[in-house]
Structures are given as structure tokens and as C-alpha cells.
């Protein structure tokens, strides 16, 4: 048993390393004494040769230790590589979020107050940090800027996997689209111009709210409260009802008020026309 332990110790890398270090230290001592014993050498030459011998023996020692411990170093390197790969895989999402934050900063993609679409979610940018952007979510309707009251956290890693769209910058007007559906009692297609005039008048009644908003917010130069004309498009649904698609422009904070004003004005007028036609038909002689 003692012979087995001795053989393992003799064949171990630690023993080989110890023998190498002792051998090199012995060579250094012998070389140092030999150089100092040479009386024909100046002290400067002795110091120079001593330094050269020391550096040479140090280099030999480092190379020898590397050769002795090469298998263990190879195993350690593989283990270190595996750990590094595992860390990269584990922190991939974190790295992508940090990279996405740098991408957003360098490209100036959006800022607080802008209306954007990130990862298929539309909303107003409330805040952002190194990892994510917080949005005030908009309704899931095409062209709608009415908020749902929910805040959504979007990780910046989505900037690399899906396109980001800026619908409107802070302080700017936004294009808002909504739809209204009515029974086909009256021919609304013939009243398209009248409907646009009614919608525009309803929009103008919201200008006081817009003026207050512009007075309080930092709007861009040249922006006023005059909106482009309201557009009303007409079509029919699959079941034959008349559908109005209203397109208007408003500041984000008054989108809901503008939509309600236009919807109420159009609905009131259309139902008047329906009542008038119904009354006329009921009063008509049989």
C-alpha cells in the first residue's frame, strides 16, 4: 500500500512540478556562485549575466510547468469555455436588452411622449431605462389613439426581432381612425359631403380643449389648432349595414374627446334623418 501511494505521488504532476522548481533553483544558485567567483568580470557584467540567467530559468520553469500541467489546463479551459457559454446563453436576453437600449440611444428611435408601435403593441412612451420601455397602451384598433388605461413593459430585445414604428412625436398631431355602423334606412352615400361638414363642425367645437393643451404643452413651432378636414368614407358590412370610417387629426390628449364629439354629432344627425324618413313613410297614404 505504501508503495502504491509512493508511485502515485512520484507520478503526480505536483511532484514533477516540485522537482522542476527545485532543479531550477539549484541551477540559479550554482550559476550565481559561479559568476560571483569570476574575478575577471566587472560587477555590472555579473549583474547582467545574473539577470539573464534568472530570466532564462524563469522562462524554462514556466514552459515546464505548462507542459506538466497541460492535460489539467486543457480540461480547465474546456470547463471555463462551457461556463462562459452557459453564462452567455443564460444572459442572452439581458445582453439583447442592453444592446437594444444602446441601439435606441444611437438611432434616436423614439423618446418620452412619442407614439410608437413596439412588438405589435401601440402606445405612448411613458418611460424607458437600460432594459425596457414602458408604454401607455392604445386600443387594438387600426388608427386608434384612445388609451386602454394599461401600462405595458416592452423589453428592448424586441427592437432586434420586430420593426418599431413611430406614429407621432411628442406634441404632434396624430391621425385617428374610427368606424360607425348604421342601419341602411337612409342613403348615407348621397350625404357624404354633409357628413364631413357635420364632423368638421364637431371637431371645431373641440378646439378650446386643444388650445388649452397647446398652451400647457411644448408644441413644436408652426403647430396650431387648425386640423385638416375630417374625412368620412362609406362602405357596407357583410350583412348589408352602412359603415362610416371617420379619419380625423387631433392631439393625443384630446383624441377621445374628438372621437366622442364627432360620433355624437354624426349619430344624432343620422338618427334624425332615419326618424324623418320613418315618420314620412308612416304618414304616407296607403
Q: Which helix (H) or strand (E) holds 34?
A: helix 13-36
Domain that holds residue 28: 2-85
Helix/strand/coil for 118: strand
Q: Give the CATH number, domain containing residue 122.
A: 2.30.30.60
pLDDT over 80 (residue 102): yes
Distance between CA 251 and CA 219 in Å, rounded? Answer: 10
pLDDT in tens, 189-231: 988 888 988 888 888 877 666 666 555 444 444 444 455 678 8
Query: Which of 85, 111, 138 marks a domain boundary?
Result: 85
Tell me the three cell numbers of residue 179. 368606424
What are the residues facing 176 on neighbouring strands?
Answer: 248
Give the Å distances, CA to CA, from 250 to 7, 138, 146. 89, 15, 11
| Range 257-274 average pLDDT | 88
Judge whether 170 and 236 are in contact, CB under 8 Å: no
**Facing residues of 234 across strands?**
244
- Is residue 114 located within the same domain as residue 143? yes
pLDDT at 152: 92
Query: Do 208 and 190 have their domain in common?
Result: yes
The grid coordinates of residue 62 equal: 514556466
- Domain endpoint, select from 168, 183, 218: 168
- Half-sphere exposure (Cβ direction) of 18: Cα atoms closer than 13 Å: 7
| CA of residue 170 relative to chain centroid, distance | 19
Query: Band of the pLDDT at 244, cuts 50, 70, 90?
Result: very high
- Residue 234, SS3 per DSSP: strand
Let me know if 159 is exposed, middle or buried by CB neighbors in 10 A (0-12, 13-18, 19+). buried
d(CA 197, CA 213): 24
Residues 6+ apart with CB under 8 A from 221: none
CA-to-CA distance for 217 and 144, rounded, in angstroms? 22
Tell whether 75 and 124 lie within a shared domain: no
**Residue 286 — very low, low, confident or very high, per pLDDT cuts 50/70/90?**
low
Contacts of 125 (CB under 8 A, 6+ apart): 110, 111, 112, 113, 114, 115, 116, 133, 134, 135
Mark whether 198 and 278 lie in a shared domain.
yes
Kindly give the interhelix angle for 70-90 and 43-68, rounded to the nearest 10 degrees.
70
Residues 81, 98 within the same domain: no
Of residues 46 and 63, more confidently modeled: 63
Same domain, 42 and 104: no
- Plot region of 196 (φ>0 → left; ψ -120 to 50 → alpha; else → beta): alpha
Same domain, 138 and 189: no
Relative orientation angle of helices 2-11 and 13-36, to the nearest 10 degrees:
60
Clarify whether residues 140 and 190 are in a common domain. Answer: no
User: What is the spatial distance between Cα 117 and Cα 124, in angstroms, rounded to a whole number?
Assistant: 9
Is the same domain home to 270 and 185?
yes
> Is residue 136 domain-shared with residue 193, that is, in the same domain?
no
Same domain? 68 vs 119: no
Q: Which CATH number does the domain housing residue 242 bear?
A: 3.30.70
Q: Provide the pLDDT for residue 135.
A: 92
pLDDT at 153: 92
Mean residue pLDDT of the chain comes to 81
Rounded CA separation 259/235 (Å): 19
Do residues 22 and 115 both lie within one domain?
no
Q: Which pLDDT belongs to residue 209? A: 64
The pTM score is: 0.49
**Who has greater pLDDT, 211 or 62?**
62
C-alpha grid cell, residue 53: 540567467
16-55 per-position pLDDT tens digit: 888 888 998 898 888 888 877 777 777 777 788 888 888 8
Confidence of residue 134 (pLDDT cuts 50, 70, 90): very high
Average pLDDT over every residue of 87-116: 86
SS3 212: helix
Q: Is the pLDDT of residue 107 over 80?
A: yes
**Domain end position, chosen among 123, 153, 168:** 168
Residue 176: pLDDT band with limits 50, 70, 90? confident
Q: How many residues does the chain have?
A: 286
HSE (side-chain half, CA atoms, 13 Å) at 173: 19
| Domains contained in the chain, number | 3
Q: Is the pLDDT of residue 74 over 60?
A: yes
Q: 1 forms bridges with which residues in the sheet?
A: none
Amino acid at each position: 500500500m505504501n508503495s502504491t501511494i509512493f508511485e502515485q505521488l512520484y507520478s503526480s504532476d505536483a511532484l514533477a512540478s516540485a522537482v522542476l522548481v527545485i532543479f531550477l533553483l539549484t541551477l540559479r544558485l550554482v550559476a550565481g556562485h559561479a559568476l560571483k567567483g569570476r574575478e575577471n568580470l566587472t560587477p555590472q557584467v555579473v549583474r547582467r549575466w545574473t539577470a539573464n540567467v534568472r530570466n532564462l530559468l524563469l522562462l524554462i520553469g514556466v514552459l515546464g510547468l505548462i507542459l506538466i500541467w497541460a492535460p489539467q489546463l486543457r480540461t480547465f479551459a474546456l470547463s471555463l469555455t462551457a461556463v462562459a457559454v452557459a453564462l452567455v446563453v443564460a444572459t442572452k436576453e439581458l445582453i439583447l436588452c442592453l444592446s437594444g437600449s444602446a441601439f435606441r440611444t444611437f438611432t434616436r428611435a423614439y423618446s418620452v411622449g412619442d407614439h410608437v408601435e413596439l412588438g405589435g403593441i401601440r402606445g405612448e412612451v411613458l418611460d424607458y431605462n437600460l432594459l425596457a420601455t414602458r408604454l401607455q397602451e392604445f386600443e387594438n384598433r387600426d388608427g386608434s389613439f384612445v388609451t386602454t388605461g394599461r401600462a405595458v413593459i416592452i423589453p428592448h430585445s424586441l427592437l432586434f426581432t420586430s420593426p418599431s414604428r413611430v406614429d407621432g412625436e411628442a406634441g404632434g398631431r396624430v391621425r385617428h381612425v374610427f368606424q360607425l355602423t348604421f342601419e341602411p334606412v337612409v342613403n348615407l352615400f348621397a350625404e357624404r359631403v354633409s357628413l364631413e361638414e357635420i364632423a368638421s363642425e364637431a371637431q371645431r367645437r373641440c378646439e378650446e380643449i386643444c388650445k388649452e393643451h397647446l398652451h400647457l404643452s411644448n408644441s413644436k413651432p408652426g403647430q396650431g389648432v387648425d386640423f385638416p378636414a375630417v374625412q368620412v368614407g362609406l362602405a357596407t358590412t357583410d350583412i348589408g349595414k352602412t359603415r362610416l370610417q371617420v379619419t380625423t387629426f387631433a392631439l393625443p390628449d384630446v383624441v377621445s374627446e374628438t372621437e366622442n364629439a364627432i360620433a355624437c354629432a354624426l349619430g344624432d344627425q343620422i338618427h334624425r334623418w332615419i326618424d324623418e324618413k320613418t315618420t314620412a313613410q308612416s304618414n304616407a297614404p296607403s
